[in-house]
Structure 1
Amino acid sequence: MEEKVLAYETFLNETLRQNLNNILEQRDKIYGQISEYLQLKTMIEKLKEDGADTRPMKTKVDLGCNFYVQANIPNTSRICVSVGFGFFVEFTFEEAVRFIDKKTAFLTEKTEDLTKTASEIKAHIKIVLEGLREIQSISDEPDRPRRDLFV
């Protein structure tokens, strides 16, 4: 009996909980990507409103470790957007917004799939915990006196 309990506890802690943590980390990473794309979309729309897409612009660029340099952008009609796997594509502002909309929709669908998988793993964890309680004859509720609500 103790061997079965130990095997279930090992499966629960080393497999199910680890898988759940991995899925949740992947989902959080994707949420971060969605956030970055939405920030870029907001920035593009703000630049279009201000008319910055038709005139030169001065900005500061982070070279790393919070070391900034001033940059002059003579043609702001196009923007480079990360499309994944380390590749960047040059888009017009309208193309970039369309790409961002499609990319965020795809990433949102992916997070929904990961959330569904996480829910399934949580259900498996509950089943294993119920099995352990049943094997060990542990009650789910503590023994305490109950009072009658309708008296």
Structure 2
Amino acid sequence: MTLQERFARNLKRCREELGWSQEQLGSMVGSDRTGISRLERKAGKITLQRAEALATAMEMDVRILLETPVTASLHRRPPGDQTSTAQIGAKVLELRTAEGVSQKTLAARVGIDRNLISRLEAPGENQLAPIELSTLEKLATALRVKPTDLL
């Protein structure tokens, strides 16, 4: 199961446990019922920023929705510190350097352009688009850590 699939299933479980409709959740994050339905069905790509907004609306830490196996109970935990591309970039740089891997090698492992790794790791880089959950998962796999270890 992919990170996005786990998030989608846990999002739905959390929403249902709260007794909220898709429309209610959508209105809290500037979406509609169709948008929430699409996310819960894993249709389309979701960014970490969007995942965090949804979790925060439900007063849940996004890490719980990303980590909890779908067969396990969701243990409610209030939102923690918000994640940022800069934090993720710093962690990627730290892990990549500790492993002695070049940006080019890491990019090849992940299947993305080396320039994306370079922009991600650049301090204060504001031009980077939000990271998709699938990219976060690929980075974590390439660096041999859990996706939430990068947050």
Q: TM-score, normalised by structure 1?
A: 0.23
- Which protein, 1 or 2, shows the higher relative CO under an 8 Å CA cutoff with sep ≥ 6? 1
**More strand as a share of residues:** 1
Q: Which of 1 and 2 has greater Rg?
A: 1
Q: TM-score, normalised by structure 2?
A: 0.23
